[in-house]
Structure 1
Amino acid sequence: MTVAVETGLWQLDPTASTVAVRHKTFWGLVTVKGALAATGGRGEVRPDGSATGTVTLDAASVDTGHAKRDTHLRSADFFDADNHPEITFAVRGADRLDGDTVRVTGQLTVRGISRPVSFTARLTAADAEALTVEAEFTVDRDKFGMGWNQLGMMRGLTTVTAALRFTRAEA
């Protein structure tokens, strides 16, 4: 299936978008899962099919279903949400590869630290008024200043899974 995408400006629909994270902890024996709230985003699809834009998450919204852990994740050991309330991904380029596959490149900023990130996403739905993009990629939290690792129990990469819905925006 190939999804056609209309050119123009698009606005993130935070109520219809999800961003989840998962990380193996306790020496790889337990997977911690959580979610972050998307608070905003905009993008532009150009006539050549490429796209740019930004997605913003609320760092303090991290929710793993465990209040004490969530408080720790919001602290300076991890997201430092008091000093860095937003996590942003600035899309520098999104180009169709084949079918519904899109190569996304951009800058992820967490705790005020920006790093390049690229991944493959998939257009799962699109019409003249809305489009949905799904992606899964990994992030090395150490590169964003989140090196807390008591007793060596948190190793490896964090997996981010996103389903982002955009609606047509006014010019």
Structure 2
Amino acid sequence: MTVAVETGVWQLDTTASAVALRHKTIWGLVTVKGTFGAVGGQGEVRPDGSATGTLTLDAATLDTKNKKRDEHLRSADFFDTANHPEITFAVRSAKAGAGDTVEVSGQLTVRGISRPQTLTARLAGADADALTLDTEFTVDRAEFGLGWNQMGMIRGLTTVSATLRFVRSAV
């Protein structure tokens, strides 16, 4: 699917978008999965076909289906949502890649710590009024101050997956 996406401003369709994470715990024996309940964002496609934008996650809405664990994830041991309520990904550049891919580079900010992040997304659908991107990438949580690790139970990288549907902004 090679589709030219129209220039202009695009808003994230929050009802058709999802961001989730998964991480192996208990020495790699159990995978914790969670989804963010509040996701927002917007982007702008420039005349040259490149794009910029911002994706924002409400860190306090991470739901792993375990209330005690979710409260711990919101605490200062992990996301510290009282002081850092949002996780943001500021897209500095998004350009069409080979086939249906989009090469994305930007800044991921978690707990007030920003790090460069690159990823490849797949253009899952596009028409004049909407486009959908799918992606999956890994993050080293220790780079963002999420180093709590009782008895070495949490190791390795966290996998983030997202389906993001953008609709043409009326503005």
TM-score of the superposed pair, with normalisation by structure 2: 0.97
CA distance in 2, matches of 1:28, 1:129: 43
Match of 1:84 in 2: 84
When the two chains are superposed, the root-mean-square deviation of aligned CA atoms in Å is 0.9
Shift of 1:97: 1.0
Residues 99-148 of structure 1, C-alpha deviations (whole Å, 9 max, x = no match)? 21011000000111100000110110111111111100000000000000
Whichever residue aligns with residue 78 of structure 1, its letter is: F
Structure 1 residues without counterparts, runs of 5 or longer:
none
Distance 2:45 2:135 in 1: 18
Amino acid at match of 1:17: S
1:36 is displaced (CA, Å) by: 0.9
Partner of 1:99: 99
Matched, 1:3 2:3: yes
Shift of 1:37: 2.7
Match of 2:53 in 1: 53
Inter-partner Cα distance in structure 2 for 1:55 and 1:37: 13
CA distance in 1 between counterparts of 2:39 and 2:65 reads: 20
Unaligned 5+ segments in structure 2 are none
Aligned equivalents of 1:38, 1:139: Cα separation in 2: 20
Shift, 1:170, TM fit? 2.8
Give the match's secondary structure for 1:154: coil
Q: Which amino acid aligns with 1:96?
A: A
Counterpart-to-counterpart distance in 1, 2:105 and 2:65: 31
Whole-Å separation in 1 of the counterparts to 2:39 and 2:12: 8
Q: Supply the distance in 1 between the matched residues of 2:156 and 2:39 (Cα, whole angstroms).
A: 28
Q: If the length of structure 1 is used for normalisation, what is the TM-score?
A: 0.97
Count how many residue pairs are aligned between Structure 1 and Structure 2.
Answer: 171
Q: Which residue number corresponds to residue 30 of structure 2?
A: 30
> Counterpart of 1:137 in 2: which secondary structure?
strand
- Following the alignment from structure 2 to structure 1, what is the Cα–Cα distance between the partners of residues 38 and 128? 23
2-structure distance, mates of 1:132, 1:96: 14
Calculate percent identity across the aligned residue pairs: 73
Q: CA deviation at 1:65?
A: 0.4
CA–CA separation in structure 1 for the residues paired with 2:141 and 2:79:
10
Counterpart in 2 of 1:168?
Answer: 168
Partner in structure 1 of residue 69 of structure 2: 69
Q: Is the contact between residue 17 and residue 38 of structure 1 (CA under 8 Å) also seen in structure 2?
A: no
Aligned to 2:13: 13
CA contact (8 A) 2:18 2:39 kept: no
- TM-superposed CA distance for 1:2, in Å, is 2.0
1:151 maps to which residue? 151
SS of structure 2 residue aligned to 1:47: coil
Aligned partners of 1:38 and 1:46: how far apart in 2? 27
SS at match of 1:148: coil
SS in 2 for 1:60: helix
Q: In the TM superposition, what is the alpha-carbon distance from 1:6 to its structure 2 partner?
A: 1.5
Deviation at 1:39, TM superposition (A): 3.2
